[in-house]
Amino acid sequence: MTQGTEHGENGDRDRSPEEAALSERLGSLDQRLSEIRDRRTRTEQPAGDEGDRAARASAMALGFRLSSELIAGVIVGAGIGWGFDRLLSTSPFGFIVFTLLGFVAGVVNVVRSAGAGQNRRGGS
């Protein structure tokens, strides 16, 4: 005996009314779930665009923050160097040394901030 004859045309006649009702309910449930999925994908599409905008805005905010940390480090270092040069009359050596130190401090802050942001988002 093959499976085709076992569950073929005679299979529909051999099913109990409970099995037929269950099969009908499962078909109805599958159709309703398909409609809900279709509706959900249509309504979630614009939300995905807003999510992209929010992610872009967050990335821009992070970029501005990192660049301002670098610029602030250089400006503070240059200011301290200029102050030392005015007080000690060592122009331009204090300005050059402290500007370079400010640049290094700014880079260290940027690397530290970028690493901390990556760890918060789930990176390793």
Rounded to the nearest integer, the mean pLDDT of the chain is: 83
Please check whether residue 93 is in contact with residue 57, taking contact to mean a CB–CB distance below 8 angstroms: no
Using the predicted structure, report yes or no on whether residue 6 has a pLDDT greater than 50.
no
Q: What are phi and psi of 7, to 5 degrees?
A: -115, 20
CA dist 41 to 27, 34, 38, Å?
21, 11, 5
Q: pLDDT digit string (tens) for 46-68?
A: 555 677 888 888 889 999 999 99
pLDDT given at position 41 = 80
Q: Which domain holds residue 92?
A: 3-120
Please check whether residue 106 is in contact with residue 69, taking contact to mean a CB–CB distance below 8 angstroms: yes
Q: pLDDT digit string (tens) for 75-115?
A: 999 999 999 999 999 889 999 999 999 999 999 999 998 88
| Structural domains counted in the chain | 1
Query: Which one has a higher pLDDT value, 10 or 27?
Result: 27
pLDDT given at position 66 = 93
The closest of 66, 68, 97 to 80, measured between CA atoms, is 97
The closest of 82, 56, 72 to 106, measured between CA atoms, is 72
